[in-house]
Chains A and B, each alone.
Chain A
Amino acid sequence: MIIDRKYAEESESVLSELLQDFKQHLRITSCDFDANLLLLLEASLEQAEKETGCIFLPSLITIKGKTIINESGFYPAFEATSLFVDGVERDKSDVQIDGGRIFVQADEGSDIEVVFDAGYLNIPKPVIAAVFLMAAALFNNPVDKIEIMPKASTNLLKSFRRWGN
């Protein structure tokens, strides 16, 4: 199984909005730190995704497999944008999406390639707050410490954690 993730076009505007809000959170008025802040935001978002098992940034995900694809861990997954079986385009409605689980079945030995949308256009507020706290901790004191995430971030992300699919 090959899984490839690309950020959707919308993720750029989501990130740029997040950056402006993050600068307000930090009370930064200049653009001097923008590159660093963006890096820290992206790193914190990835950490939040790992922590919860969700996909927060709007993404296009491609899964390639043989005969059957039955994969979970893509919450929130939306509609499939394309489905190819042995290089031939098929009806997208053959792809079953249930929460974070993707299911496609084809003839024995066929190559399947499915592409679908996942992620939030409006990232939930507790997730944004958690990501800001993480990124701020990295920005303010970029040195080794015992905790991976601030306690408040862990608590804010707790309700988003997904077990199973």
Chain B
Amino acid sequence: MLNGVDLRARQALAEQIREDSWEAQLSMGVAAQGATADRCRVRTEPMRLGSTRVARAFGMDQCRGPGAGDSLDPVGSLLVALGASVADSLVTELTAEGCSPALLEVLPCAQFAADGAARLSYEIRLDGEVTPEQARRALAAARERGSAHRTLEEPNDIKAVVQTARDVHLTSRPMPSGAGPFVPGRRRSARVMWEVGTHVLAEVDGVRAESDQPKQLFGADLAPSAQEYFLAALAVEALGFADPGEATTTPDTPTASVHASGRIDLRGPYSTQDVPAGLRNILVQLLPADPTEEDRAAADAVRRWLAEGDALRLVRDAHTIDVSLVLDGTPVTLTT
């Protein structure tokens, strides 16, 4: 087993899901609930992988908006997801090439303009016995079949439900990019360092995180997966709008919670079939503190999130993602 990647098992899964498409359906979810005034507790929920369940018992603290010191914020969570997913795809492809990189880092970056438009990019730093051609091929495969890359590059409908006495169903459709020039404003970046297999360590503005896949997807069950970071970003950001955490709560006080779920057809990332590789069927459900009452404020808050949320817009709208590659300290030219 090279690089902690079990290629034979991955190939066996790819063959199996080619034959049994229902076994390729991976659905997952996270639930976020306010913990303190500025922080939420996110819990990963059991995944469904085909006809089996995958337990995921991880909890992570994230802050409702940007700027809190020691926890990931929603955009930071998205950047971790992007870096982890890209690293996973790259390592798998490099392993298939017989390469064993000594260093693999992904440096994702998001830039926001004043009008809300955003740009995404990432730089890959590779050291070790990898030729430029091997690195290019691996990168091309990661761009084509990496689930986070595809999710962020392609437009996605985001559905939301506010569960009150009368449920409110909302859909946020992708917005086309503006015609005017992009004037960069805020910039967020992360550093994601590959450890082994699907395990990565990440750092965003001094905040550390780690990501891994369940063993059913050839990880070691060490941390939330890239896709769970994705969903956590949406859940926490939605909760930040719906329940800003300004009111002082006691442990017995009911609080709002947000559940975010999505689905991946593993034939996309795991085989070469013409199946979308990104996260699909993204659904965000808000359960207000008192779901028995009709709560217009909660529905309005979710509408505001659907219009203004940074993480939401990164996931919902299509983005051209700029990618650069540095091999052994030397930039490598990529053909687009």
A and B: interacting chains: no
